[in-house]
Structure 1
Amino acid sequence: MKITGVIPETDRQKSALRWLESYAQGQYPDATAAEAALHFASLDKTDRDISPYLARLDDICADLERSIADAAGAGGSSPRVMDLAIALQHVIPGYHGYQGDEENYDDTDNANLMSVIDRKRGLPVALALLYLHAATRCGLDMTGIDFPGHFLLRLEAHGERVLIDPFHNGIVLGAAELRELLKAFQGLDAELQPEHYREANERTILLRLQNNIKVRALRSGDLAYATTILERCLIIAPDEAGLWHQAGTLHARLNNDEKALAAFEKFLALNHDQRHHQRIRSLAAELRDRIAGIKPDDTHAETSSSPDAEETVIQFHPPKPSADKTPAPQTPDDPSPA
């Protein structure tokens, strides 16, 4: 079932959506997450051709190849992991000038890779895409790390590994710095655990990037744009139940009842946790009534006033619109919704 409601307005948007659908189906096995992120970015930057941005990625790769060759030295010995980390620092934040945007962190452009390349500023996960793309093209062993609140990178070579912070000039973080970073996001009692080093595949990274855009749209009260972002996420992650749940909730709040119902039905098909099913079935029944023009009767009213009603009924349209504009605080680098 496909309910994506992104309506292309230009040929470039149509082309980008077709590319992303093909990418999700595995038709571009050599494409990197950075290339996919540029196609996502082009959906909002309709006046820009993607080709120059792909060329900028190629420039970074060419410069990194030269820097790695220099690190190898005249003897041609394979560089150690710290040599490779330094080569990345010289090229991406050094020569090309990419840095984290600490002054305007919540600017949506920090999560749009076209704007990141133009401004040379961005969020950790957006900047990480540049490192990962260059590392892949240059044959380096680099992995995204879904660290709490702050996306990191792991670089490996010759049995050694280091963690790199793409937001802060590609610096290498030791245990002390990682512990300090974790406590900044999770409190002074937090301690490093194995789950904090969870690897992130390309889809997870792209979803985390898009989630940053969605969260900022919700903070500004733009539910329609947040819904559009969710629908774009579903192009590459149609099997993620949580995304369908979010899409259903936002569509319902926008009075898109048929799309909300379709999304909730998709959620029920994908999520097998019975704890959620009763509540979502109740929402789906309410939506069916609303679509059919059936008003809640006294029986429904009695059900809503029962002790368990709070667990099964969600008010789709809060009486105070301002409630949409004050979502709960988020961590600086919002994690993937998946």
Structure 2
Amino acid sequence: MTREEAEDVLAEAGRAADETFPLLEAAIACAIHDYPFRDPEPARRLAQAAYERLAERIGGESPDDALAETMAADLRLNGDLLHYDDAANTDVIAVAERRRGLSAALAVFYLDAARRAGLKAYGVDFPNHFLLRVETPAGPVALDPFSEGRIVMPSELTRRALRAGLTPHVADRLDLLMAPVTDREALIRLQNVLFSRAIRCEDYLCAERSAVRRALLDPDDHRPWLDVAAAREKQGALAGALEALARARAVSGQDEQVHRASMDRLRLRLN
């Protein structure tokens, strides 16, 4: 698959309804968009194995135990503590081969297996760390894919929230801390991680690609195009930055002063 073909897949995913969003295939397309011409089959094989093993476990174990045991014990998926900042930890093809990754990347396989096996599982956009919410007969529980799918108790959720800077009033609200997000939002969270890392490393080409993926995955959000414009400007691609700002204005449907000011500044640099 080429980078252009990956963009076509992402654009199609962006047009899909949340209920039919193709999480795994979109995540594979994101990975290939960064590094084209790779074989996506390792990721697909891992996803199929996860579904088959989870389907066998369902019924004999609680939903959270079945999911955690399948992914962490049977398939050895876990967080990468030794090389946390390795770019491979955000790439689902590399994660499938290494069985290591960031929580948001590991969650792609958890969520795909849960969907196909009929479990109710959702991403949780927790501050600084992506978690999973699994519905059980006893109520929802939080799982941490980075830590072998272990359960995160409510008291620990509150402690983590306080450390992340949330106010005590919010940190005590489990309904807020465990609010589910869509699969689309879960994949966009992963692209946000990539963008932030690329900006810190001054890898503006990588930052641009991750922002383009966010724009394709959520075509109704103008903000990714602002990030595309910023990344292109850092590369000196001023005409491309102007184009991205124009797309942001078109998507937002507003003639925002901040967009106009940015476009005027870029035009002055071009002249």
2:122 to 136, 139, 143: 143
Matches within 5 A, 1:1-338: 11-26=1-16, 30=20, 32-71=22-61, 83-158=62-137, 160-186=139-165, 191-193=171-173, 194-271=175-252, 277-291=256-270, 293=271
TM-score by length of 1: 0.72
Distance 1:114 1:278, change over 3 A: same
Q: Give the gaps of 5 or more residues in structure 2.
A: none
Q: How many residues align?
A: 269
Contact (CA 8 Å) 1:109, 1:116: kept in 2 or not? yes
In structure 2, the residue corresponding to 1:43 is in which secondary structure? helix
1:251 Cα deviation from its structure 2 partner = 1.7
- Take 1:270 and 1:25, find their aligned partners in 2: how far apart are those partners? 14
- Take 2:115 and 2:140, find their aligned partners in 1: how far apart are those partners? 16
1:246-305 superposed Cα distances (whole Å, 9 cap, x missing partner): 11222222222222122223333444788xx333322211222333x2xxxxxxxxxxxx
- Take 1:242 and 1:90, find their aligned partners in 2: how far apart are those partners? 38
Contact (CA 8 Å) 2:43, 2:96: kept in 1 or not? yes
1:196 Cα deviation from its structure 2 partner = 2.9
1:92 Cα deviation from its structure 2 partner = 0.5
1:64-84 superposed Cα distances (whole Å, 9 cap, x missing partner): 11111433xxxxxxxxxxx12
Structure with bigger helix share is: 2
Q: Give the gaps of 5 or more residues in structure 1.
A: 1-10, 72-82, 294-338
Contact (CA 8 Å) 2:79, 2:103: kept in 1 or not? yes
Distance 1:27 1:240, change over 3 A: closer
1:133-153 superposed Cα distances (whole Å, 9 cap, x missing partner): 110000011111111111111
> Which has the higher mean CA deviation after the structures are superposed, 144-153 or 281-290?
281-290
Distance 1:192 1:269, change over 3 A: farther
- Take 2:75 and 2:268, find their aligned partners in 1: how far apart are those partners? 57
Contact (CA 8 Å) 2:89, 2:102: kept in 1 or not? yes
Letter in 2 for 1:42: I
Q: In percent, how many aligned pairs have the same letter?
A: 28
Letter in 2 for 1:101: D
